[in-house]
Amino acid sequence: MSFNTSGHLFRFTTWGESHGPALGVVVDGCPPGISLTPEMIQRDLDRRKPGQSKYTTQRREADEVKILSGVFEDERTDGPRTTGTPISLVIENTDQRSKDYADIRDKYRPGHADYTYDQKYGIRDYRGGGRTSARETAARVAAGAVARQVLSGISIRASLVQVGPHKIDYDNFDWDQVGENPFFCADAKAAALWADYLDGIRKAGNSVGAVIEVVAEHVPAGWGAPIYGKLSADLASAMMSINAVKGVEIGAGFEAASLTGVENADQMRAGPERPYFLNNHAGGILGGISNGDPVVCRFAVKPTSSILTPRQTVTTANQDTDIITKGRHDPCVGIRAVPVGEAMMALVLADHALRHRGQTGREGAVGFERN
Amino acid sequence: MSFNTSGHLFRFTTWGESHGPALGVVVDGCPPGISLTPEMIQRDLDRRKPGQSKYTTQRREADEVKILSGVFEDERTDGPRTTGTPISLVIENTDQRSKDYADIRDKYRPGHADYTYDQKYGIRDYRGGGRTSARETAARVAAGAVARQVLSGISIRASLVQVGPHKIDYDNFDWDQVGENPFFCADAKAAALWADYLDGIRKAGNSVGAVIEVVAEHVPAGWGAPIYGKLSADLASAMMSINAVKGVEIGAGFEAASLTGVENADQMRAGPERPYFLNNHAGGILGGISNGDPVVCRFAVKPTSSILTPRQTVTTANQDTDIITKGRHDPCVGIRAVPVGEAMMALVLADHALRHRGQTGREGAVGFERN
Amino acid sequence: MSFNTSGHLFRFTTWGESHGPALGVVVDGCPPGISLTPEMIQRDLDRRKPGQSKYTTQRREADEVKILSGVFEDERTDGPRTTGTPISLVIENTDQRSKDYADIRDKYRPGHADYTYDQKYGIRDYRGGGRTSARETAARVAAGAVARQVLSGISIRASLVQVGPHKIDYDNFDWDQVGENPFFCADAKAAALWADYLDGIRKAGNSVGAVIEVVAEHVPAGWGAPIYGKLSADLASAMMSINAVKGVEIGAGFEAASLTGVENADQMRAGPERPYFLNNHAGGILGGISNGDPVVCRFAVKPTSSILTPRQTVTTANQDTDIITKGRHDPCVGIRAVPVGEAMMALVLADHALRHRGQTGREGAVGFERN
Amino acid sequence: MSFNTSGHLFRFTTWGESHGPALGVVVDGCPPGISLTPEMIQRDLDRRKPGQSKYTTQRREADEVKILSGVFEDERTDGPRTTGTPISLVIENTDQRSKDYADIRDKYRPGHADYTYDQKYGIRDYRGGGRTSARETAARVAAGAVARQVLSGISIRASLVQVGPHKIDYDNFDWDQVGENPFFCADAKAAALWADYLDGIRKAGNSVGAVIEVVAEHVPAGWGAPIYGKLSADLASAMMSINAVKGVEIGAGFEAASLTGVENADQMRAGPERPYFLNNHAGGILGGISNGDPVVCRFAVKPTSSILTPRQTVTTANQDTDIITKGRHDPCVGIRAVPVGEAMMALVLADHALRHRGQTGREGAVGFERN
């Protein structure tokens, strides 16, 4: 990953600012012959779309994707198919409130990248945070939808597992619940509690952090490229690149530090066709390579930095001042990070699927669509 | 990062197996005119070297580095200086016990990458774990020593902050203590307790995990390359690529999930020359770019998988069996991961120092050595 | 360069097909604070635009560029300035004649990539050649215009120096003539002769090849990244990647093979501030690094493959047949390759300018715009 | 290609200076399970080795290669096999004459990179040219031998086709002759004439340039990665990166500029299994993708810059002076560039073989060794 491009064989490059005319992504290196329609992409975009509940920003964006290149259809292709050339996806920005930006133009918002962008570039598009806005994640989700098509047979799902100090009870974990509440939460009881909790946070002009868990099932053993392209390292980079993320863990993660070798070892038993593991502390990755078990990744999102409570800050002229970040902000940005986490998992896996096939000539991926 | 190379402008490529004749690294893109002697590298290698206490493997390796290219000295250079060409560093393997490898040849060691390497490559150098051995980290430490020379003025230090369930008390935190105990621990009291604890673990033929904290001070504001080359993302990838690491966090990390926006915001005040922050929950990084505060990164290491307690596993022929991993193993691999974490921090920062200078023409780095 | 992205620090990614809704490019890694308006880009696009004389395709395309991201303007920026974030440029396709594509759908056009795309991808957008169309070069020219802004002070010009067997006379070489004839030719006399010659070729339903010379002046000494990122190697790759190019040479090029060491040596003399060269057989590059002399690169373009003379070919079902490629084709694609060659030179130089600054901390570039 | 690394999936990184202790290469991304012995590499190294005739430098180097990593052998592997991990190859420098370097330390040798390295890096290992020495090509040849093993079934051969003004007669072209003369020349008659010609050149203390033709047969259709990773573009970059190369062409190359579309078109006919071409002006590449015909690449090498005839130059202090480059130099460096050209062809093809397989899941390569 470097600059605004990520991936080695299956690559994507995102562009666009919060208040520019549009944002988008170019997906390059996609296998040819994959079925791809705007609907397949829109499905995921709609899950990330703002304004779907009182727990997310009230900004109204259709987030309608257009496919400008890389797919082709004629009477013989049975619907639009990727051609192996770059897939350009564009999403127009439609709800850019015209407003006075003087406040964020002249003041640095604590927790935001205003100060660091000025330090790095000496110039900053401050309208809605410009390039640093979480709107950039729409482009990731669009690219991720393409990756999902490449990874047919592999299931990638995510759930919010913690909001503020409140964690879910894994005994209640049910993937079917994720679509039933505004938090993408697999624990219905936790979701109910979070509703009240977040109401309070929101009314107090405050915000909270969260933890998201992403799980990829049916990933074949053998994906990953040691030493510096480990599947775990690429997932860490991918998740940490999401706005506001401050931590990433695989499998047992930080909990592994407290375990003994006897406890942590995922013992193996002979299966009918191949061995299986008695536990998955490894999170499906050993030595940076997938072991056939579900790939389990969690990441922590800090609380929304834009809050209605006044905070101390400085002006761009290095003068003390205060700031209240008005606007339409998520009380918990972690909620909308759920589909983004799924997208990043899909993008990393698609890249490793192709890299593995390239180096070794092995498919690995059971369900991975042949071209 | 991809395959066995890491970095974009300041790049390094490692090679070698545990029981091959040697291992090494090629550092490419290093600025010219940097002072570099074998002693500067050996200093760091000696800290990672095995066999220095009963808490690390008793394997005896001199880990003596040779510089085969990339530096030049004559009567006008005031000692050896980098030339801007690739720096090849080689370390010979000297203590490869000749032994019977039949056991690990025919059985998969739980927690190790034996099974995944076989699944990926269909062939595996099982002698001492081959490429998956933590001996590879010697090459990282050697490369990291070169990066430190590039980053003059920037201080990079690390401490073990947790062993098994036992965390340090940050009130006792004193960098000067790191060199005074066999655990690279900044809390003398914790180190004393860990000594007894680890004795018990070792005698029980068991092992434990750990957490390492790496801190880089005097990093100028402005380093980092959004969106997919964020300083935080590259650190996450770098630390996660270290053997046995299962989690990485920046600043408040996972704790940030429990905080509110009011608590988490690092408020700013006007300083004499530039603004400063009242806290560092951000760990010195905002929007993927350094903000001038110390860059703080923690990573979790799982317990050593090689233990003397028999574990259930399977043979390469998918038959149930048990295994006891004899040999000279660290009861806590986290200890020797401390200098490795420092090296990875240095390598990531050196790369971003050059990338920032390349794109923006700004030095940023106050102390960053001019050529 | 890989897939549809080129460059290491100053990078660009192109996308789009001949008959898709649009084509475009994302320029990443551009220095911040550079002045950039659509007019600056349109200027170069208009030179490449089709339909400007009877010697180029009659396809009518406005080739109007839109800047969708990466520039920002407010009352303090003195016009639009780059922000250091990705610059997305889009050009709509407006003149896609609806026609029957059955002929090129079912037959392979000799000299085109129809057969190889089918062999590689198993699917092909045959409308106007799809991704293989020379329309892709519009995106290069747009990106090149951005690179020119980065390289202020460096002059990049090109001239057609051969059409079919007819070469220019360097004694008549005058850069001012390039804008005075439809061939971008610095030799007015040659241009006059080519006019008649090409009329004959066109009327005969035939086509011819050409040679373009690109010259960059005021390139500072020191740009280039040995060994595999030599300035000469990157130029060779850049020019060879242009549609229909079959050869590239630097300085004396193939002529150097016939020279002796005594003849070929560019002897040096002491200048007032720095040494200078008595000749430029090297084409401004020694050991892959610029030496301060003009960088001189030539490339050969094969004749347009689409001709009205029937040629033998096969169907996609491997049946013998003939084909006449109707349509609006350039009798000499080399003509419109002139601005494309300039763009590629600018793109390669901009990348090396940043890479050199990144590794060495030296500006090199005399006129290279400071941020 | 960037800095000292080349390739995208099949990658290699070279290091080392002419008068350092050793030089070498790390080959990364090699498919596992490939048979590889030192002898397979030595075979190619011995062809490039100096001192084999009076027409090449009399420097005596054994150029003995050691494999330090990446291959493994046990009773089940049927000889040494690649493991998919980095292959480190090292060649010691044994014949570094201790001599007085004051002359080239203080003077810039015309035609060499002395001046440009000083301008770029401000420091230079002048002993034997340091990193700019053609000794670096030994590392390429070693890496190329690994690539050949990956490309089993593909034949890669090269011939010297021009020395100074004297070209071969293609009617005499016979690959079997290449091993029968000291020039790697497929035309026995030309070789005989060159012998006398080069004797004269050498005795006159002069040198000449040359042209090498490299041909790869049985390359399957479909290899190459448009737009900026075209097979032709990567070959151009690869060949241009070889010391002293000033021009590269594919198929008809510069001659294509003089041809008409009618003459240049490689017409197609239906074959028993697949179509075939009536000519190969394309040099086996259409649209940057291989078409199944032999891949034909030629490159021009300038005359050796180190000659015994005094040339005008300047001192590092910018003072006029003369220089005679004494030492053991090739009167025609083009001769030893023949095996180097073969190696670069193999390296580019191996990379594209894996890239094609990765993106498309198609083997393409008929004889390309399965793992």
Answer yes or no: is C98 a known binding residue: no
Pairing outcome for strands A5-6 and B81-82 = unpaired
Enclosing H/E stretch for A351: helix A337-360
Q: How far apart are CA C216 and CA C324, in angstroms?
A: 40
Would the CB atoms of B358 and C9 count as touching at under 8 Å? Answer: yes
Between D145 and B370, name the one with better pLDDT. D145
Q: Residue B315 is encoded by which pair of tokens?
A: 């043979």
The alpha-carbon gap from B350 to the nearest alpha carbon of chain D, in Å, equals: 16
Percent of residues, chain A, with pLDDT higher than 90: 85
Strands (E) across chain A are located at: 5-6, 11-16, 22-28, 65-67, 71-72, 81-82, 87-92, 155-163, 166-167, 210-217, 245-250, 268-269, 276-277, 285-286, 289-290, 295-301, 311-314, 320-323
The pLDDT confidence band at residue B371, using thresholds 50, 70 and 90, is very low
CA-wise closest residue to A145 among A333, A337, A339: A339
**DSSP symbols for A18-59:** TTSSEEEEEEESPPTT-B--HHHHHHHHHHH-SSSSTTS---
Query: Average model confidence (pLDDT) for chain C?
Result: 93
pLDDT attached to residue C371? 37
The lowest-confidence range among B301-305, C47-51, C214-218, C296-300 is C47-51
Read off the DSSP letter of residue C49: -
The alpha-carbon gap from D77 to the nearest alpha carbon of chain C, in Å, equals: 33
The pLDDT confidence band at residue D97, using thresholds 50, 70 and 90, is low
Distances (CA, A) of A167 to A162, A176, A279, A333, C156: 4, 18, 22, 16, 61
Q: Answer whether the bond into residue A227 is a cis peptide, omega within 30°.
A: yes
The pLDDT confidence band at residue A367, using thresholds 50, 70 and 90, is very low
Of B16, B69, B122, the CB nearest to D69: B16
D315: pLDDT strictly greater than 80: yes
Residue of chain D minimizing CA distance to B118: D83
Percent of residues, chain D, with pLDDT higher than 90: 85
Return the number of CB contacts < 8 Å for A and C: 147
pLDDT attached to residue B330? 82
Query: How far from chain centre, in Å, is Cα D67?
Result: 21
Calculated CA dihedral for residues C266, C268, C271, C273, nearest 10 degrees: 90
pLDDT attached to residue B95? 73
Would the CB atoms of B370 and C355 count as touching at under 8 Å? Answer: no
What value does the mean pLDDT take over residues A315-321?
Answer: 96
Terminal Cα distance for chain D, rounded: 26
What value does the mean pLDDT take over residues C25-53?
Answer: 93
- A352 and A223 Cβ atoms separated by less than 8 Å: yes
Q: Residue A92 is encoded by which pair of tokens?
A: 């127009």
Q: What are the backbone angles phi and psi of residue D15, rounded to the nearest 5°?
A: -150, 160
Percent of residues, chain C, with pLDDT higher than 90: 85
Residue of chain B minimizing CA distance to A324: B262
Q: Which residues of B touch D24 (CB under 8 A)?
A: 68, 88
Q: Which residues of C touch D136 (CB under 8 A)?
A: 227
pLDDT attached to residue D1? 58
The lowest-confidence range among B127-136, D181-190, D245-254 is B127-136
Binding site, annotated residues of A:
48, 54, 131-133, 243-244, 287, 302-306, 328
Q: How far apart are CA A125 and CA C38, in angstroms?
A: 18
CA atoms within 13 Å, Cβ hemisphere of A59: 23
Distances (CA, A) of C132 to A33, B360, C18, C185: 18, 35, 8, 27
What value does the mean pLDDT take over residues A194-223?
Answer: 96
Would the CB atoms of D256 and C302 count as touching at under 8 Å? Answer: yes
pLDDT attached to residue B97? 64
pLDDT tens digit string along C75-133? 889 999 999 999 999 999 987 665 778 788 999 999 999 999 999 999 999 998 999 99
C370: pLDDT strictly greater than 70: no
What value does the mean pLDDT take over residues D21-25?
Answer: 97
- B304 and B207 Cβ atoms separated by less than 8 Å: yes
D54: pLDDT strictly greater than 80: no
C344: pLDDT strictly greater than 70: yes
pLDDT attached to residue D186? 98
Chain C interface, best mutation among D116, D183, D307, D330, by max C CB count within 10 A: D116
Answer yes or no: is D54 a known binding residue: yes
Could you tell me which residues of chain C have a Cβ less than 8 Å from any Cβ in chain B?
8-9, 29-32, 84-85, 226, 354-355, 357-363, 370-371
CA-wise closest residue to C63 among C77, C44, C86: C44
Q: How far apart are CA B330 and CA B53, in angstroms?
A: 10
pLDDT attached to residue D103? 82
The pLDDT confidence band at residue D98, using thresholds 50, 70 and 90, is low
- B143 and B27 Cβ atoms separated by less than 8 Å: yes
Q: How far apart are CA D313 and CA D325, in angstroms?
A: 12
Of D4, D68, D72, the CB nearest to B22: D68
Answer yes or no: is C133 a known binding residue: yes
For chain C, give the number of residues.
Answer: 371
Could you tell me which residues of chain C have a Cβ less than 8 Å from any Cβ in chain A?
3-5, 11, 13-17, 20-24, 26, 28-29, 32-33, 66, 68-70, 72, 74, 77, 81-88, 90, 105, 120-125, 130-131, 371
Percent of residues, chain B, with pLDDT higher than 90: 85
- What is the number of helices (H) and of strands (E) in chain A? 8, 18
CA-wise closest residue to B84 among D75, D4, A338, C138: D4
Secondary structure (3-state) at B144: helix
Q: Answer whether the bond into residue D227 is a cis peptide, omega within 30°.
A: yes
pLDDT attached to residue B81? 97
Q: With both helix axes pointing from N to C terminus, report the angle between C337-360 and C136-150 in degrees, rounded to the nearest 10.
A: 40
The pLDDT confidence band at residue A371, using thresholds 50, 70 and 90, is very low
Answer yes or no: is C303 a known binding residue: yes
Q: With both helix axes pointing from N to C terminus, report the angle between C136-150 and C38-48 in degrees, rounded to the nearest 10.
A: 130
What value does the mean pLDDT take over residues A299-328?
Answer: 92
Would the CB atoms of B360 and C9 count as touching at under 8 Å? Answer: no
Residue of chain C minimizing CA distance to A19: C69
Q: How far apart are CA C150 and CA C97, in angstroms?
A: 37
Residue of chain A minimizing CA distance to D9: A359
pLDDT attached to residue C97? 64
ipTM above 0.85, yes or no: yes
pLDDT attached to residue D96? 67
Residue of chain B minimizing CA distance to D78: B123
- D2 and C356 Cβ atoms separated by less than 8 Å: no
C183: pLDDT strictly greater than 70: yes
pLDDT attached to residue B365? 42
Query: How far from chain centre, in Å, is Cα D191?
Result: 20
CA-wise closest residue to D132 among D25, D51, D248, D16: D16
pLDDT tens digit string along C29-42? 999 999 999 999 99
pLDDT attached to residue B364? 57
Q: Is the dihedral of CA D93, D99, D102, D108 positive or negative?
A: negative
Would the CB atoms of A358 and D359 count as touching at under 8 Å? Answer: yes
pTM above 0.95, yes or no: yes
Query: Average model confidence (pLDDT) for chain B?
Result: 93
C25: pLDDT strictly greater than 60: yes
Query: Average model confidence (pLDDT) for chain A?
Result: 93
Q: Which residues of A touch D226 (CB under 8 A)?
A: 85
Between B104 and A181, name the one with better pLDDT. A181
Calculated CA dihedral for residues D194, D199, D205, D211, nearest 10 degrees: 20
pLDDT tens digit string along B322-357? 999 876 678 899 999 999 999 999 999 999 999 999
Percent of residues, chain B, with pLDDT higher than 70: 95
pLDDT attached to residue D364? 57
For chain B, give the number of residues.
Answer: 371
Q: Residue B301 is encoded by which pair of tokens?
A: 């290491």
Domain positions in chain B: 5-360
Domain B5-360 has CATH 3.60.150.10: yes
The lowest-confidence range among A47-51, A172-176, B137-141, C353-357 is A47-51
pLDDT attached to residue A62? 86
The alpha-carbon gap from A70 to the nearest alpha carbon of chain D, in Å, equals: 13
For chain A, give the number of residues.
Answer: 371
Q: Which residues neighbour A220 within 8 Å (Cβ) at sequence distance 6 or greater?
A: A290, A292, A363, A364, A365, A366, A368
The pLDDT confidence band at residue C58, using thresholds 50, 70 and 90, is low
The lowest-confidence range among B158-172, B208-222, D93-107 is D93-107
pLDDT tens digit string along D322-337? 999 876 678 899 999 9
Pairing outcome for strands C87-92 and C166-167 = unpaired
